Chain A
Amino acid sequence: MNNTPGKIRIATTSLAGCFGCHMSILDIDEKIIDLVELVEFDRTPLTDIKEIGECDIGIIEGAVANSENVEVLQEFRKHCKTVVAIGACALNGGIPAMRNHYSLEECLKESYVDGMGLDKPLIPSDPELPMILNEVHPVQDVVKVDYVLPGCPPTADMIWDALTALIEGREPSFSLDEVRYD
């Protein structure tokens, strides 16, 4: 469903993440001008498109923490030829997964019942709200992932190298210096 023929279509999303990986995408600075020559953005926080269309590349930031994350992720997998998970949270749960050391009940109570300064303690349960998962999962627990870029966040250079390789139909590869996990 490429709107502009010949242009690679990219979608991105941030699940349970801090948008730091998206900031790192923006850190490619002026190269973004080169990028938009080659690609068109589908659903991303940059375009504010809500429904994903058929895409070549889907970029996932963040871990899977609630039912909406699962749904979005499965939609991305269905509509993107290649799925790239970026950042520590997507790869192994990262900061959001630190709650896995506690039960969900303990977490919710700490936030909504026993926390300081609460006026009317109540665990939110509106059907409009996504359901929170028992545990936070990395992306590959839910869908097949084609490529992962580690880092918190991955550097702009790494994202740029990976994207250009994929756009040009090359297998992405990185020097040892480029791969970082912190």
Chain B
Amino acid sequence: MSAATVEAINNIIDNNHDPDYLLQHLIEIQHHFHYIPEIAIGALAQTTGFSETHIQSVVAFYSFLSLEYQGDYRILFSDNFTDRIDHNQQLKTLLEDKVKDASVYIGMTSCTGLCDQGPGLLVNGLAINDLDDQRVEEIAALILNKEPVSNWPVHLFAIRDNIQRSDIQLQQESSGGEGLAKALSLGPDQTLSVVDASGLRGRGGAGFKTATKWSFCKQHQSDQHFVVCNADEGEPGTFKDRILLNTYAEEVIEGMTICASVIGASKGLIYLRGEYRYLLEALQGTMQKLRSENKLGNNILGQNGFDFDVEIHLGAGAYICGEESSLIESLEGKRGIPRIRPPFPVQQGYKNKPTVVNNVETFWSVAHILRQGADWFNQAGTEASPGTRLLSISGDCERPGIYEYPFGMTLTEILKDCGGAGAQAIQMAGAAGTTVLAKDFARQLSFEDLATGGSFMVIGSQRDLMDLLDNFATFFRHESCGFCTPCRVGTLLIEEIIQRFNHKQGSEVDLEQLQRIAQIMQETSFCGLGSTAPTAFIDALNQSPELFTERMGHDIDNPVFDLEQATRDYKRITQ
């Protein structure tokens, strides 16, 4: 190990021995070396007090970290269904062929949030959009020339906001801190009443009433409270937080600050998914600006004793960290394994202190609600789902992008706007969500009918729904955190079953198994990932049984067992 390596590692650790920063150190070490050198594990064990095996387990958990050096370039193609229909697999093969002898690792990763301008990839953690043959060839040439990624042309990284429809919130001018000023003049209790009156419900998908969450947290006595912004936008097909953090970060942070003023927090954290690392620098710039304007820092906007600042923690490629208790574990530098609930984060969250975890969009809406008033917000939407929300629309439509809609819109209206006529289905709320077939397009966007965390994938009539299921099955197998058996094993078994049907080798036994595994996962999984993972498959089986029954093997009573394939290795070895 060279002295330079040791020095680089020490620079990254920078005398910050707080164990909560273990993951952040690892991410920066990975970013610097493109892997985690063994010596770094030893150094971190000494400074953080964790054992080396614990640190190795953290590295193994996050898919963007690796213990082995895999090359100067680490390229991960996004593998959402929308990437697949735009031929990500062929583009990957093309790149592999072009850069065969270069020092490069090429793999797949879950949805990187560029579904409206995909296929996407990550190169050494930075996102590239709009992939086609030409751009892949350009990337190949840069790799063969050994150009460091920092020298790659900016047009490769030119990610667009792509807002297609604005409603009351996106139509607002920049808030300029008016919402926060209003909150401070109203005081915590009145501010909470405004949020309550607006009827705002959490935008992550579950739709818990924001004011209720805040008041639970506020009521909980503690020397410290925390505000956490969940920017781990991992649900396949969701990319609204990308534009909020890119263009509307001031309002997002303003919303966090308003929350802090209500619950009495002095520290906030943004958990930014690793896929959005490219937003990090600009976000830090925004925070710097807000500090200079006294909207973050001490005695905010002249309010004596109101101190609040925000820190950004990066994720490292783990879908489960979007679940709030896993996210908190990850913030504390550990593997993102869900906590048992109760206690809920509002009781014991980050550092076991009362913590509000809200979605990026929720905080953004809070800033507007404080500025414009509760009535302004809840005039839109339905009674149980007030206001507007952002949809991330992708897939088989002419105009994918961000659409702001009041709740209560029907899927038919939405499809008309985005040019998705003739779609056979909509995948609402991502892989863990609901598949809505064309006959049900009169259903509406709302918590009382079809809730979504923002994902809205249009599935055209030319698509095979089994390919969609195949994509989801692989996704869940990869993203199961591995902690509880029903989910760890169940997701693998479901993937095997779905692949058999996809190869027209299904059987009645597989169908029985699928239903049985789904039931076990729904009833006994530790967290929501495992209990919702089987939904898409069971939905499909109930709504379109022919999808399965038309793909049976020759003997439907028994599983297909391919003896030819199963003896291939033996024949090769003994020939």
Interface residues of A (CB under 8 A from B): 67, 70, 74, 77, 103-105, 108, 123-125, 131-135, 137, 140-144
- A59–B351 CA distance with the chains assembled, in angstroms: 55
* Interface flag for B449 (CB, 8 Å): no
Given contacts A141-B561, A142-B559, contact A134 B570 (CB under 8 A): yes
> B532-575, CB under 8 A of A: which get 1 and which 0?
00000000000000000000000001110101011111110110
Residue of B nearest to A78 (CB): B558
Q: Could you write out 17 A-B pairs with CB less than 8 Å apart?
A: A74-B558, A104-B570, A104-B573, A105-B569, A105-B573, A123-B573, A123-B574, A124-B574, A132-B570, A133-B567, A134-B566, A134-B569, A141-B559, A141-B561, A142-B559, A144-B507, A144-B509
- A77–B561 CA distance with the chains assembled, in angstroms: 13
Asked whether A104 lies within 8 Å of B569 as measured between CB atoms, the reply is yes
Residue of A nearest to B557 (CB): A144
- A137–B562 CA distance with the chains assembled, in angstroms: 12
Asked whether A144 lies within 8 Å of B567 as measured between CB atoms, the reply is no
- A89–B561 CA distance with the chains assembled, in angstroms: 18
Interface residues of B (CB under 8 A from A): 507-509, 557-559, 561, 563, 565-571, 573-574
Q: Which residues of B contact A140 (CB under 8 A)?
A: 509, 559
Residue of A nearest to B568 (CB): A134
B501 to chain A, nearest CB (A): 16
Q: Which residues of A contact B565 (CB under 8 A)?
A: 134
- A132–B571 CA distance with the chains assembled, in angstroms: 9
Determine chain A's interface SS by DSSP, over half rule.
mixed
- A133–B563 CA distance with the chains assembled, in angstroms: 8
Residue of B nearest to A104 (CB): B569
Residue of A nearest to B567 (CB): A131
- A88–B557 CA distance with the chains assembled, in angstroms: 23
Most chain B CB atoms below 10 A, which of A67, A77, A144: A144
Q: Which residues of A contact B574 (CB under 8 A)?
A: 123-125
A104-B570, A134-B566 are known; give 11 further A-B pairs, CB within 8 A: A67-B563, A70-B561, A125-B574, A131-B570, A132-B570, A134-B565, A134-B570, A137-B566, A141-B559, A142-B559, A142-B561
Q: Which residues of B contact A135 (CB under 8 A)?
A: 566
B518 to chain A, nearest CB (A): 17
Q: Which residues of A contact B508 (CB under 8 A)?
A: 144
Q: Which residues of B contact A123 (CB under 8 A)?
A: 573-574
Q: Which residues of B contact A133 (CB under 8 A)?
A: 566-567, 570
Q: Which residues of B contact A134 (CB under 8 A)?
A: 565-570
Asked whether A77 lies within 8 Å of B558 as measured between CB atoms, the reply is yes
Q: Which residues of B contact A108 (CB under 8 A)?
A: 573
Q: Which residues of A contact B559 (CB under 8 A)?
A: 140-144
Asked whether A67 lies within 8 Å of B567 as measured between CB atoms, the reply is yes
A10 to chain B, nearest CB (A): 21
B197 to chain A, nearest CB (A): 53
Asked whether A131 lies within 8 Å of B571 as measured between CB atoms, the reply is yes
- A132–B561 CA distance with the chains assembled, in angstroms: 15
The 7 lowest CB-CB distance pairs between A and B, nearest first, are A125-B574, A131-B567, A134-B569, A142-B561, A104-B569, A133-B566, A144-B509
- A171–B558 CA distance with the chains assembled, in angstroms: 22
- A67–B563 CA distance with the chains assembled, in angstroms: 7
Asked whether A143 lies within 8 Å of B558 as measured between CB atoms, the reply is yes
Query: Looking at the complex, which one of A70, A77, A143 makes contact with B563 (CB distance below 8 Å)?
Result: A70
Q: Which residues of A contact B557 (CB under 8 A)?
A: 144
Q: Which residues of B contact A105 (CB under 8 A)?
A: 569, 573
A51 to chain B, nearest CB (A): 20
A73 to chain B, nearest CB (A): 9
- A125–B569 CA distance with the chains assembled, in angstroms: 12
- A105–B568 CA distance with the chains assembled, in angstroms: 11
A17 to chain B, nearest CB (A): 19
Asked whether B569 lies within 8 Å of A103 as measured between CB atoms, the reply is yes
Residue of B nearest to A126 (CB): B574
- A144–B559 CA distance with the chains assembled, in angstroms: 7
Q: Which residues of B contact A132 (CB under 8 A)?
A: 567, 570
Q: Which residues of A contact B573 (CB under 8 A)?
A: 104-105, 108, 123
Residue of A nearest to B513 (CB): A140
B466 to chain A, nearest CB (A): 21
Residue of B nearest to A77 (CB): B558
- A144–B570 CA distance with the chains assembled, in angstroms: 26
B510 to chain A, nearest CB (A): 10
- A105–B508 CA distance with the chains assembled, in angstroms: 34
Q: Which residues of B contact A125 (CB under 8 A)?
A: 574
Q: Which residues of A contact B563 (CB under 8 A)?
A: 67, 70
Residue of A nearest to B512 (CB): A144
- A70–B570 CA distance with the chains assembled, in angstroms: 15
- A67–B574 CA distance with the chains assembled, in angstroms: 15
- A141–B566 CA distance with the chains assembled, in angstroms: 12
